[in-house]
Structure 1
């Protein structure tokens, strides 16, 4: 048995299939962790979701910002963007079932035996592991309830950009989702900067990559995240692993075997912009 963590697939179905074949993945034997952004920008979002759902309990998924965007579009809350490639998925007969499944996925997955925690974008330095798990669970509870649409209606936006334990309601939930699914750069006090998507050494003044600050979580477990293709899979910090290697931008799709930290990669077949 082996456990493989894969970064942002973003609708790159053929590369995803090739990577599973390359690592000889067997759902009856192995486990697959997917770091969010299963869909969008690539051409095969529908096929990716169908395959992941088919793999059943062999897969652990966390939600990414593109997954939330899809759920918002499907609920009539978000407008599609020029770069979106969601129409085929949204018009599929099984779309309601696939979207219902997606909406029930967590924001954070932790395995104490393997000693890893996974979110889409990372965990801010202001939080410890227990706090991150509890805050993720608050949002998950709302997403799995009859209040899901109301949450989605209030979920998108950049404010508040700073965590406080006193935050309540939708502001609190929006802040949690932004940290776990959109974060790249933050200030020493964990204040978010959500506009810049550059390489790690091109941080806006007063900010730095979230993983360069002392991490409370890293004292307890190793961290897996996707979201930041410009890192090309490198953080320079022991125990913090970047999984997004830009497949949808014509680069690579990467799997990290958690038991021995060996990486496996498939080159993108073409650039999907």
Structure 2
């Protein structure tokens, strides 16, 4: 049995199947993880959702920002739709409601103690250890699966608050938690989020500005974990400092990447695309 983690797919179903053929994925024995963003911008989001749903317990998917965007639209926020979105086939599908319900029950953090890996979509602020991150993830997941789900999506978007405090309550607390798990790239040493910055970091520069990639803060409470994440197409593949970044920009003309956890071997399938991920 092997466990494969795939970076952001974003509707690239053809490349997903090519990658699974390359690694000889066997759904009767192997397990497939994904860093989130199953959907949007690519041409076959509906097929990607159907594929992962039918894998049942052989699949582990954490929610990304594009997945939450789909859920927000599905829960009545049509004004959130962008011209670049490719979500209508899901919303209009006969099994669309079933797929939305399945997606809404995915976690935002998955930790496998036996394998020694933690799966998220974007990042963790320096102050959160695994126990805290697990607690805050549970708060968000409980809301997504509860009676306040629709109201949550009405309050989803926004960059504030920028810094964590245990005193945060209500929608501000949930928005900060959401932004960390699904949007974080850069932050300050104190955990102040810099959500507007999507550029690739200068990783060889030791004199970085006040905001660094979240995983480069030496004092971060999650530094003892092995964390797999996506979300950062301009960063590309990165494996150092206890993290593995797997979003290699498939939908933007890059590649779709898989990591086999048992031996940390990388597999990759090239993809044709038309957009610049820095503009997303």
After TM superposition, the score normalised by the length of structure 2 is: 0.93
In the alignment, which residue of structure 2 is the partner of 1:217?
A: 222
Give the C-alpha shift of residue 79 in structure 1.
2.1
Are residue 125 (structure 1) and residue 126 (structure 2) matched? Answer: yes
Give the C-alpha shift of residue 205 in structure 1.
4.5
Mark the runs of 5 or more structure 1 residues left unpaired by the alignment.
Answer: none
Give the C-alpha shift of residue 218 in structure 1.
2.5
Are residue 242 (structure 1) and residue 250 (structure 2) matched? Answer: no
CA RMSD of aligned residues (A): 1.4
In the alignment, which residue of structure 2 is the partner of 1:271?
A: 273
| Distance in 2, Cα, partners of 1:201 & 1:84 | 30
Give the C-alpha shift of residue 206 in structure 1.
2.2
CA contact under 8 A between 1:11 and 1:41: conserved in structure 2? yes
CA contact under 8 A between 1:7 and 1:244: conserved in structure 2? yes
Give the C-alpha shift of residue 27 in structure 1.
1.2
| Distance in 2, Cα, partners of 1:15 & 1:64 | 19
Helix, strand or coil: the match of 2:146?
Answer: coil
CA contact under 8 A between 2:187 and 2:213: conserved in structure 1? yes
Aligned residues: 270
| Distance in 1, Cα, partners of 2:143 & 2:39 | 22
In the alignment, which residue of structure 1 is the partner of 2:237?
A: 233
Q: Cα deviations across residues 87-130 of structure 1 (Å, max 9, x unaligned)? A: 11111111100000001100000000100111100222110000
| Distance in 1, Cα, partners of 2:143 & 2:67 | 16
Q: Cα deviations across residues 191-237 of structure 1 (Å, max 9, x unaligned)? A: 00111111012999521111110232122x211100001111115x2
Q: Which runs of 4+ in 1 moved over 3 A?
A: 202-205
| Distance in 1, Cα, partners of 2:55 & 2:201 | 35
Q: Cα deviations across residues 121-163 of structure 1 (Å, max 9, x unaligned)? A: 0222110000000000001011111211111111211110110
After TM superposition, the score normalised by the length of structure 1 is: 0.96
